[in-house]
């Protein structure tokens, strides 16, 4: 699996598959929620307008300067390990890595898209065990993580 998953997602220059056994996953077969979240453009900040009671509508500046609002990006990760203890350690280490980042910041690089998101971790919104974690053996789990991109690239 390493030849397939290695190098697909780098966070702060760390290959998450090689270091943690983590990779992007979808909740449904053929799903595209991760790509949708990555590529959804941010909203624009509201323009200042003047609303005069005696005039129809609103008045705006002659030249509008569009500026992006911050946006949230939610990614679904899965984590795999051959042992229960190994899975628990890697999961805890991966979540700690995401929370701490580099001074709290994460640069999530997607080489196939030639795209890097500069974000901070905000929350782990959902965890789904894919195996029985209380039994010894191969373990996997899937979880969604929400990130905040203060200065969106799109």
C-alpha 130/C-alpha 101 separation (Å) is 26
> Residue 121's pLDDT is what?
98
pLDDT at 3 over 80: no
pTM over 0.85: yes
Tokens of 106: 């994460």
Distance separating alpha carbons of residues 91 and 73, to the nearest angstrom = 20
Q: How confident is the model at residue 135 (pLDDT cuts 50, 70, 90)?
A: confident
Question: What pLDDT sits at residue 1?
Answer: 67
Chain segment 15-72, per-residue pLDDT in tens: 999 999 999 999 999 999 999 999 999 999 998 889 999 999 999 889 999 999 999 9
Polymer length in residues for the chain? 154
pLDDT of 148: 98
pLDDT digits (tens, 9 = 90+) for 56-107: 999 988 999 999 999 999 999 999 899 989 999 999 999 999 999 999 999 9
| Beta strand residue intervals within 22-154, DSSP E | 22-24, 71-81, 106-110, 115-129, 139-149
DSSP 26-44: -SSTT--HHHHHHHPPPPB
Which residue ranges form the domains of the chain, and what is each CATH number? 2-42+68-149 (2.40.30.200)
Work out the number of other CB atoms within 10 angstroms of the CB of residue 22: 27
């Amino acid at each position: 699996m390493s030849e397939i998953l290695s190098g697909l997602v780098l966070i702060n220059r760390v290959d998450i598959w090689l270091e943690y056994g983590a990779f992007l996953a979808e909740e449904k077969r053929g799903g595209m929620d991760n790509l949708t979240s990555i590529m959804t453009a941010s909203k624009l900040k509201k323009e200042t307008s003047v609303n005069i009671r005696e005039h129809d509508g609103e008045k705006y500046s002659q030249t509008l300067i569009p500026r992006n609002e911050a946006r949230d990006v939610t990614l679904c990760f899965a984590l795999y390990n051959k042992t229960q203890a190994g899975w628990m350690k890697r999961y805890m280490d991966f979540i700690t890595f995401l929370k701490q980042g580099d001074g709290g910041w994460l640069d999530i690089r997607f080489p196939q898209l030639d795209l890097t998101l500069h974000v901070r971790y905000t929350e782990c919104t959902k965890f789904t065990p894919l195996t029985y974690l209380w039994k010894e053996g191969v373990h996997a789990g899937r979880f969604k993580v929400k990130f905040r991109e203060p200065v969106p690239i799109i």
